[in-house]
Amino acid sequence: MMDMITRFKLAARNAARNRRRSMATLASVVIGFVALSLFEGYFVSVYSSLEDEVIVGERLGHLTVGKPGLFDKGAQDPRRYAFTDRELARATARLSALPGVKLVSPRITMSGLVSNGDTSRIYIGEGLRAEDMLALRGEKYADQPGKLDPQRTQGAVFGKRLAESLGLKAGSDATLLGATLDGMVNAVGIEMLEASATGSLGTDDKFVLVSLATARRLMAFEGAERIVLLLEDGSDLPATAAAVKKVLAAEGIPVEVRDWRTLSVYYNQVKSLFDMMYLFISVVVAIVVLASVFNTMGMTITERTREIGTLRALGMQVRTLDSLFVLEGMLIVAIGCGLGIAITLAAGFLINGAGITYMPPDAAAEVPLVVELVAANLGGSLFTLVVLAALASYLPARRASRRNITGALSHV
């Protein structure tokens, strides 16, 4: 019985014996592995950036809590689906006591016209506490532009293109016009703190961010439309959402809870697109590796048919023969993937250090091109390709090892 170490040695010798063919297969594996890994690293970076953009940039947090029907019918009857000041106080106290809840942030959405005194533009806006915005950003994004000032409750942050269209600069006064929850027209004065790009062309020319106090004055309402929760760990959102519903139901406040993935249509659309692209690239690479290994092993086995017949005549078992060819294919691919990992790490380092930027669709500013390589993903790609190599090697080996011994020995 041949031990596994001996089989590996024989497989390595056989691969080296067919050096030219093995090198061609090795090259195709390396190129395919590097292309797949770099694309995967880029997609991981995009997903991470999108998640931060939604949770922090769009200020959605991890969970959004609202009265039942708010997300579907809230615009039709805003007062009916809003939290009163008493409900908000009770809900905030209970939610703040929940384990894992880092921030409880009441919000109000606004829309209407914003004027500089001469011209007006349509705006959509949000009111939140300046302290909540700082907590939501954390240390990672603390120095990013677009911050409200806790000391200036009339301060507002404008989308960059909206500020430019109105000719506003830092310190300029403007007026927000909108409807209260009862449908009455109201107006409040604000001061522009700064103009900051929202990151999306669809909102940069109409977005205004104000303090919660300003939004309440405009809406003539002391409660909140919804409550946004930021968690210590966002890995188990369904369990936290269930806990939120339970504690508020005990207070007599029925709610529905939606996570950031459900609320962010843009995230879901972009992720679906990139998932499909990654699937397509993965299938192409897998087909290339399969075809290359199958072709190499098929030609190798055909050339060694008489050798196979001799080994069978000497009593070598069919399973042992199969394993030798399978190990040979796996070894070639494993070496190719190992070289591919080294090249991928070097290429990723060079790309990340090159300072390359590009303009994504619907973006208001360029973003850096980053490749975020994850060890688990590299290992998963290696494992998958090695398994495919085993399959591609086994098929021709099985056919050859089961040939009649006499026919194999007389093969020319």
The full 3-state SS of 90-108, as one line of letters, equals: HHHHHHHCCCCEEEEEEEE
Tokens of 108: 């109000």
pLDDT at residue 297, rounded to an integer? 76
pLDDT bracket for residue 265 (50, 70, 90): confident
> pTM (2 decimals)?
0.78
Residue 57: partners with Cβ closer than 8 Å, 6 or more residues away? 198, 199
Chain CA centroid to CA 1, Å: 50
Burial of 256 (0-12, 13-18, 19+ CB in 10 A): middle
pLDDT bracket for residue 23 (50, 70, 90): confident
Kindly report, residue by residue over 148-182, the tens digit of the pLDDT: 998 898 999 999 999 999 999 999 999 999 988 88
Lowest mean pLDDT among 14-28, 110-124, 333-347: 14-28
pLDDT bracket for residue 213 (50, 70, 90): very high
Tokens of 226: 């919804």
| 36 vs 360: CA distance, rounded Å | 21
Query: At residue 335, does pLDDT exceed 70?
Result: yes
Burial of 230 (0-12, 13-18, 19+ CB in 10 A): buried
| 234 vs 242: CA distance, rounded Å | 14
Residue 95: partners with Cβ closer than 8 Å, 6 or more residues away? 65, 101, 104, 227, 229, 244, 247, 248
Radius of gyration of the chain (CA): 31
pLDDT at residue 106, rounded to an integer? 95
Task: Name the amino acid, one letter, at 398.
Answer: R
Top-confidence residue, 6 or 345? 345
Burial of 248 (0-12, 13-18, 19+ CB in 10 A): buried
Burial of 182 (0-12, 13-18, 19+ CB in 10 A): exposed
**How many angstroms separate the most distant Cα atoms in the chain?**
99
Query: At residue 91, does pLDDT exceed 80?
Result: yes
Lowest mean pLDDT among 151-160, 205-214, 360-369, 371-380: 360-369
Mean of the per-residue pLDDT values for the chain?
86
pLDDT at residue 340, rounded to an integer? 93
Residue found under tokens 């609320």: 263
pLDDT at residue 319, rounded to an integer? 75
Of the candidates 324, 334, 332, the residue with the CA atom closest to the CA atom of residue 295 = 332
Query: At residue 408, does pLDDT exceed 60?
Result: no
pLDDT bracket for residue 299 (50, 70, 90): confident
Residue found under tokens 């993935």: 261
Contact 310, 358 (CB under 8 A): no
Top-confidence residue, 129 or 363? 129
Kindly report, residue by residue over 340-350, the tens digit of the pLDDT: 999 999 999 99
Start-end of H helices in 130-264: 130-137, 160-166, 201-204, 212-219, 237-250, 260-263
Residue 137: partners with Cβ closer than 8 Å, 6 or more residues away? 56, 144, 147
Q: Phi/psi of residue 240, each to 5°?
A: -65, -40
Q: Phi/psi of residue 119, each to 5°?
A: -130, 160
pLDDT at residue 359, rounded to an integer? 79
Contact 190, 173 (CB under 8 A): yes
Contact 252, 354 (CB under 8 A): no
Lowest mean pLDDT among 1-5, 298-302, 331-335, 348-352: 1-5
pLDDT at residue 405, rounded to an integer? 63
pLDDT at residue 313, rounded to an integer? 73
Kindly report, residue by residue over 101-122, the tens digit of the pLDDT: 999 999 999 999 999 988 999 9
Start-end of H helices in 184-317: 201-204, 212-219, 237-250, 260-263, 265-303, 305-313
The 3-state secondary structure of 80-92 reads CCCECHHHHHHHH
